[in-house]
Amino acid sequence: MKLLIDSHSAYAYTGGKTFDPERPCVVFVHGALHDHSVWTLLARWFAHHGCSVLALDLPGHGRSEGQALPSIEALGAWLWRVLDGAGASQATLLGHSMGSLIALAAAAQAPQRCQQLVMVGTAYPMKVSEALLNTAREQPLKAIDMVNVFSHSRMASKPSYPGPGSWLQGGNRQLMRRMQTGYTHGNLFEHDFKVCDGYAGGLDAAARVHCPVRFILGAHDQMTQARQARALAQALNAQVSLLPCGHALMTEVPELLLATLREVIPTGVPSAASVHASTQ
């Protein structure tokens, strides 16, 4: 699905279903140097279980055009403009890593529109070390390799993502490289990291959020360690789920993540019969 937002084409994956603004809406927000494809299994599942989904490509990432936006707050505001364009008045906001901060900022900007907030692989503040920022600036491919190692907790994660036979480290590396080389306005990796590093509005935003909040964290996460999310979780009065994985929760434990999200997100009509019929 493509929308014209701020004079630029914005892409959102809708999970193999036509977006219906009358259904409960779930918005998936990716992290640094990623795109919608980190969410496709989950997005497809919710789209086929009573929800309408928008798995976004942030500006300058994947299929969305334009320059990357300069701050978490700007990205939160952009998110609501996408939902306005799609005709969705309210939504569950679900973000990973940098995307979790965007979802938080958006929830704070329009609390009445955010039904639930789910922050996956998050931390606050999301500081990036000076060394990694420098590497991202000067040797982005090396920085991608480093982050790729930090993001994965093991050499085998079953049933793998998006399916058996996929080597997660290889897939993530190529996705990040694709985002980096496909961006024509500068160094996207450095930009995304700076956006994460520079976000200082987390606790203020938390004070404005009224909806239920769930944190889903990786017990072995080296990028956003679970203990670094504690203060924000308390400020948001969030329930916290800890899964046995690293930062790449969507790909390392897709089944556990789905099971956790099914506890959190109402799915409208989870009729096995209707789902079965749609796959024939």
Partner 1 sequence: MSGYADPGFDTLALHAGAEPDPSTGARAVPLHLSTSFVFENSEHAASLFNMERAGHVYSRISNPTNAVFEERMAALEGGIGAIATASGQAALHLAICTLAGAGSHIVASSALYGGSHNLLHYTLARFGIETSFVRPGDMDAWRAAIRPHTKLLFGETLGNPGLDVLDIGQVSEIAHAAGLPLLVDSTLTTPYLIRPFEHGADLVYHSATKFLCGHGTVVGGVLIDGGSFDWQAAHDRSVAELRSRALDSAGTVAAYAARFTELCEPYAGFHGMVFSEESTVGAFLLRARREGLRDFGACMSPHTAWLILQGIETLSLRMQRHVSNAQLVAEFLSAQPQVAQVGYPGLPAHPSHALATRLMPRGCGSVFSFDLKGDRAQGQRFIEALKIFSHLANVGDCRSLVIHPASTTHFRMDDAALVQAGITPGTIRLSIGLEDADDLIADLKAALKFAFK
Residues at the contact surface with partner 1, assessed by CB under 8 A: 13, 16, 35-37, 40-41, 44-45, 48, 62, 145-146, 148-149, 152-156, 158-167, 169-171, 174-175, 177-178, 182, 254-255, 258, 270, 272-273, 275-276, 278-279
Strands (E), 182-278: 213-218, 239-243
Which lies closer to partner 1 via its Cβ, residue 228 or residue 267?
Answer: 267
Query: From the CB of 159, what's the least distance to partner 1, in Å?
Result: 4
Query: From the CB of 13, what's the least distance to partner 1, in Å?
Result: 6
Name the DSSP letter for residue 36: G
Query: If residue 278 lies in a helix (H) or strand (E), which one and from where to where?
Result: helix 272-278
Phi-psi region of 160 (alpha: psi -120 to 50; beta: other; left: phi over 0): left
Which lies closer to partner 1 via its Cβ, residue 222 or residue 228?
Answer: 222
Query: From the CB of 102, what's the least distance to partner 1, in Å?
Result: 19
Which lies closer to partner 1 via its Cβ, residue 70 or residue 159?
Answer: 159
Query: From the CB of 141, what's the least distance to partner 1, in Å?
Result: 12
Which lies closer to partner 1 via its Cβ, residue 161 or residue 183?
Answer: 161
Buried b (16+ CB within 10 A) or exposed e, 249-265: bbbbbbeebeebbeebb
CB 28 within 8 A of CB 54: yes
Query: From the CB of 73, what's the least distance to partner 1, in Å?
Result: 27
Which lies closer to partner 1 via its Cβ, residue 35 or residue 73?
Answer: 35
Closest CA to 125 of 100, 149, 108: 100
Say how far apart CA 94 and CA 82 lie, in whole Å.
15
